[in-house]
Amino acid sequence: MAEKFDAVDVIRTKRDHHRLSAEQIAWVIDAYTRGVVADEQMAALNMAIFLNGMDHDEINAWTAAMIETGERMHFGALNRPVVDKHSTGGVGDKITLPLAPLVAVFDVAVPQLSGRGLGHTGGTLDKLESIPGWQASVSKERMMEILADPGCIICAAGPGLAPADKKIYALRDITATVESIPLIASSIMSKKIAEGTDSLVLDVKVGSGAFMKNIDTARELASTMVQLGKDAGVTTVALLTDMEHPLGRAVGNALEVQESVDILAGGGPDDVRELTIALAREMLTLAGKPDVDIAAALDDGRAMDVWKRMITAQNGDPDAPLPQAKHTHEITADRDGYLSTLDALAVGVASWRLGAGRARKEDPVQAGAGITLHAGFGERVRRGQPLFTLHTDTPDRFERALEALTPGFAITDSAPSMPESVILERID
């Protein structure tokens, strides 16, 4: 059968600053998934979009076309509100781990179809895989059972959701076309809409450790995604949150699981607890439960109980000791003062170089690798006090990790101005 369009014409349209029609978009994404449009043609089109953008209708059509290439999930049989959360990714961002069980305490189903990490931001599945026995892959039938009881699941997204996005994302990764708002928004939202959630809360990170380095681009990305969700019938809100500094005091897989468990036990760092409760509030409001006492469910053990049942349901042992790295290296303060620089990207890259993250998608990660932070941004420190502990199984990695970390922190005489909250803005 003759093809409806020609890839070169579609590329030329966008190259010359014209709008793509919905039909052109539907065709090019379907034809690329079928292998009719070549990688180099899709790469050229992505670059034209990166340079010249897409308007609202084009982004909607691009998202819908990617959803069309795969399956859609349905959670109607659960007879309960279904709410999902997505973070654009940051350093020390383990919030999904305590958040899913916390929201499920209130009879709201939380399906968190997650991925593995690439680059300096860790993947949720990599973190959970440090729990002995825990398995990321779950059949659809078992997923529905777990969503019925204990009510939340964090598992691997199957290959069937928006397969076009997988192919296009891999291509963007190697052609410098990731950082495009229309392409990021449609990539994230095609998967979330196909996943079949009723409503969605987005955590859009802003700062050195995030995709979006400044508040204006983060706001534009958040507004684009919120509108895409609404247009597809998924009630969507976004919080813009700070990623200038790492979140919490632990970066790295098992280290972040331990910090999540601390939060579920009613403790943990203030910023992690604040953001967990704020996102839970947004999710529960969308689920029609705005007035429940969220903090109480962390403090009285109900969220911990759901966590343990969620981990057990995927063959994990929630009470087993977590893996620890074989080697550690401590960095101490060389003077009295205030920790007035603590750069999220530097900490993320150092943790990645210690073995917590991967450079290629087939690389293994070290469960115990990462960084413990003994002081937070703006904190008063004393000469000789430990600032960071670096963890790895392979001590030859310390040198490269230190090269990344050392320019990322500084102690000064005066205190820096402190952000009032990790939450910067709300967009709905």
Q: Other CB atoms closer than 10 Å to residue 255's CB: what's the count?
A: 31
Catalytic residue status for 374: no
Residue 398: partners with Cβ closer than 8 Å, 6 or more residues away: 327, 329, 354, 390, 392
Which window, 91-99, 118-126, 178-186, 291-299, contacts ligand URA (CB under 6 A)? 178-186
Q: What angle do CA 353, 354, 359 make, to 5 degrees?
A: 40
Question: Does residue 416 belong to the site contacting ligand URA (CB under 6 A)?
Answer: no
DSSP secondary structure code for residue 353 in this structure: I
Catalytic residue status for 172: yes
Residue 139 burial by Cβ neighbours in a 10 Å radius (0-12, 13-18, 19+):
exposed
Check the CA dihedral 356-359-362-363 and report its sign: negative
Q: Considering the complex, state which of residue 90 and residue 370 has its C-beta at the smaller distance from ligand URA.
A: 90
Alpha helices per DSSP H over 375-422: 398-405
Which window, 182-190, 234-242, 354-362, 385-393, contacts ligand URA (CB under 6 A)? 182-190
Question: Does residue 188 belong to the site contacting ligand URA (CB under 6 A)?
Answer: yes
Q: Considering the complex, state which of residue 62 and residue 338 has its C-beta at the smaller distance from ligand URA.
A: 62
In whole angstroms, what is the distance from residue 315 CA to residue 39 CA? 39
Question: Does residue 42 belong to the site contacting ligand URA (CB under 6 A)?
Answer: no
Contact pick of 12, 71, 80, 169 for ligand URA (by CB under 6 A): 169
Catalytic residue status for 86: yes
Question: Does residue 184 belong to the site contacting ligand URA (CB under 6 A)?
Answer: yes
* Residues near ligand URA (CB under 6 A), total: 6
Considering the complex, what minimum distance in angstroms separates the CB of residue 291 from ligand URA? 33
For residue 286, which phi and psi values (nearest 5 degrees)? Answer: -65, -30
In whole angstroms, what is the distance from residue 262 CA to residue 136 CA? 22
Write out the two tokens for 161.
Answer: 């959701």
Question: Does residue 187 belong to the site contacting ligand URA (CB under 6 A)?
Answer: yes
For ligand URA, which residue has the nearest CB? Answer: 187
Catalytic residue status for 223: no
Considering the complex, what minimum distance in angstroms separates the CB of residue 115 from ligand URA? 7
Considering the complex, what minimum distance in angstroms separates the CB of residue 224 from ligand URA? 12
Tell me the catalytic residues. 86, 165, 172, 187, 191
Residues at the site binding ligand URA, with contacts judged by CB under 6 A: 169, 178, 183-184, 187-188
